[in-house]
Amino acid sequence: MTLNGKWNLYYYPAYEQKINTVEELKNANLPMVEATVPGNVELDLSAAGVLPKDLYMGENIREAEKFETYDWWYETEFDAPNAPSEDEKVILHFGAVDCVAEYFLNGEKIGESDNMFISHDFDVADKIKYNQKNSLHVHISSATIYNASFDFELSMAEHVWRLTTMGINVRKAPHCFGWDIMPRAVSAGIWRSVELQYKKKYDFRYLYFKLQYMDGNKGVIGMLFDSDLPPKYVFDDITFKIKGSCGKEEFTHLVTRKTGSGKFLFNIPEIKLWWPKNYGEPNLYTITVDAYGSDGKHLLSKTVRRGFRTVVLDRTDVTGPDGRFNFVVNGTKIMAVGTNWVPMDAYHSRDNARYQKALELANDLNCNIIRCWGGNVYEDHEFFDFCDEHGIMVWQDFAMACHVYCQDDWFKDKIKKEAEWVVKELRDHPSLVLWSGDNEIDYMYALENWDPNINHLTREVLPLVVERLDPDRPYLPSSPYVSPEAFAKGGNHEAADVFPEDHLWGPRDFYKSSFYTESKAYFVSETGYHGCPARESIEKFIEPDYVWPYFDNSQWTIHSSDQDGNNKRVMLMHDQVLQLFGEVPDRMDEYVLASQISQAEAKKFFIERVRLRMSRMGGVIWWNLIDGWPQMSDAVVDYYYNKKLAYDYIKRSSQPFIIAMDEMDRWGHDVLCCNGTLNEISGSCRVYDIDTGEEFLSCDFTAAPNSNTMLGKIRLMYSEQRMFIIEWTVNGKKAFNTYLAGTPKYDFEQYKSWLEKINKL
């Protein structure tokens, strides 16, 4: 039974008064607005006219800051159904509450929480008034005041994101306190569903299936399970009936054990494995398990969807002669090409409505991996279900980023409980291929010349949780991980040539500078380049008087994203355009296009540089797919779902099979096949100048599976600025790629003419 919908919302400055009980709330005479659950308080205030209607227009987001030190009381009434049977329990389920909350049912406090990431369940069977009205209140305290109530250790203050300790001690998405891709939006709210659930008292606690090993085409499956059984059957002979199907293939197994928990093996003949996109089908089985007592009584039943595969992260701790960082699925090295997944919205109650479109974009771009960045929330099952069904691997950071976090026992316990919930909640998804301890915190330690391996959270707490609850899935302490050996070799952000996996940001200069081309990393898990949204999008979030120009423009600055008045990222985009074309257009539409060209060529280069080195590199996860609020950014799709030019370039570069040109080396450019499939591919290819039609290479080819195949070399001078079309035909179907030869500065008008010709292709 859902309790979503319209609630009452009361609010007041927490530093002016204290309201601790429902009775005190009734007598407080507080302002009240109508709230929507799931929701965020700022959205409710906006709908009521207390805050601006569009919080993303201009600098309106700043208006919400005044409510950071407010407390909130949600209130609703509901009619409860009949009393539960003796085999049922009644649970009040909160999908997620942001963030420090107390819960009251019929005026009685039933629990509290202090974590926005996880769900909270309260057994209310003896507190509900059945067939009567019940009142429900949720008191949410100011997360800002709560965070400030803790002591901050010296190490925490030494290196913090944006030089503030805001948010470090509260389990709230790190981006909420302001990031370079998100606004400061320290929200509150019941942001996922609320339900009154009548649940079976006796049920499976978990059903976990794993591919134990392969015996020819037969899969040997391990079923790990734990259950609550009626007392009468605790030591009875329990018969488990397992029925499964994948397409037309079906199987049935019967197993009898004197236990309600444990493990047993069964076979699936001609098993259909789950494969990442481009490497096979993402096969999923529907499996039903029924449990029966020795007297034939049906005790338990559960139906699940599962995919069977093995996954190994084959990596070394440092770069070197035997260095590597590869995802190996079902014994096959995967060339991973995909995107970083950042917050869908600054106000997370709107995330769910944005999932489908965003995931369809990732699928259309042929992403076979998504990295869920540690500054975000943990996404819901709808996200992972899509990835399961479409063969998209998921790299999941735990929700910590760019701070040195508290090492005391009380905070370790918070992280442990959160991780236990997250791992148990998500471990059944075959798409999930990696747990990563955090985002860039090893960097933070190393920048201060501290050994990151003293971080108890990622070296002790999290790996122990993963080992206990999900031992078959790889764990990486941090992204990038600074191992003891890497640290001993002087590994820090400025000397990252020892990291097998790295984030390539650096000076953010020309996208083919030595910072990028000389990186020794085998896997690039973050790298990006700025591109301006289209004018039609900009006009939706910048007020008319501020739309153009961008110099000394506070609205462009806040949407870059910076609420401290620093226009660094606005000027970064300016400089990247200047670098490529030698001048910056002074008309808005021209500037938008120039910045999008700059971004498109950069993203294309980042992807193809990795794919052209399949023998030594394991993948690239570019930054990023879509904005979580309207801004000037590295995203290739803006907040309003308008695609930048880079979208098309990435789509071409991420096809399962492409032919691409490498960078100038020894008087020319190598032309190679990049075959990211397990099939041998044959066809014909030609490379020609888009302006003159002059042909530089023409050949038939056979490309080996899952590797690069050399086709030839094109002799050029560095000074020759050309746009090449690389065209190939396989099984009668044509495809093409492009290559921009030469070095800047390029003529903007000439590039526009190239773009017109490319679009006709």
pLDDT at residue 562 is higher than 90: no
Place of tokens 């002059």: 694
3-class state of residue 684 by DSSP:
strand
> How does pLDDT run across 430-455, given as a tens digit for each residue?
999 999 999 999 988 988 889 999 99
Provide the pLDDT confidence category of residue 66 given band limits of 50, 70 and 90.
Answer: very high
> How does pLDDT run across 451-489, given as a tens digit for each residue?
999 999 999 999 999 999 999 999 999 999 999 999 988
> How does pLDDT run across 381-399, given as a tens digit for each residue?
999 999 999 999 999 999 9
Q: How far apart are CA 469 and CA 226, in angstroms?
A: 13
- DSSP conformation letters of 593-623: HHHHHHHHHHHHHHHHHHHTTTTT--EEEES
SS3 letters for 514-560?
A: HHHHCCCCCEEEEECCCECCCHHHHHHHCCHHHCCCCCCCHHHHHCC
Cα distance from N-terminal residue to C-terminal residue, the chain:
54
| Mean local confidence (pLDDT), 651-659 | 98
| Mean local confidence (pLDDT), 499-504 | 95
Question: What are the structural domains of the chain?
Answer: 5-199 (2.60.120.260), 203-306 (2.60.40.10), 368-495 (3.20.20.80), 657-760 (2.60.40.10)
Q: How far apart are CA 44 and CA 41, in angstroms?
A: 5
Q: What is the pLDDT of residue 4?
A: 98
**Alpha-carbon dihedral sign for residues 153, 156, 157, 162:** negative
pLDDT at residue 584 is higher than 70: yes
Contact indicator for 558, 59 with CB cutoff of 8 Å:
yes
Q: How far apart are CA 550 and CA 143, in angstroms?
A: 34
Place of tokens 């010349």: 449
Other residues' Cβ atoms within 10 Å of the Cβ of residue 750: 13
pLDDT at residue 163 is higher than 60: no
Q: What is the pLDDT of residue 223?
A: 96
Q: How far apart are CA 169 and CA 574, in angstroms?
A: 37
Q: What is the pLDDT of residue 259?
A: 85
* Higher pLDDT, residue 148 or 411: 411
**Lowest-confidence pick of 37-41, 286-290, 568-572, 608-612:** 568-572
Place of tokens 């691409």: 660
Percent of the chain whose predicted confidence (pLDDT) is above 90: 92
> How does pLDDT run across 346-368, given as a tens digit for each residue?
999 999 999 999 999 999 999 99
The average confidence (pLDDT) of the chain is: 95
Q: What is the pLDDT of residue 506?
A: 86
CA 204 to each of CA 106, 240, 567: distance values in angstroms, whole numbers, following the listed order: 31, 12, 55
> How does pLDDT run across 245-271, given as a tens digit for each residue?
999 999 999 999 998 899 999 999 999
| Mean local confidence (pLDDT), 206-227 | 96
* Higher pLDDT, residue 289 or 163: 289
Q: What is the pLDDT of residue 493?
A: 57
Q: Pick from 363, 352, 496, 374: which is nearest to 434 by CA?
A: 374
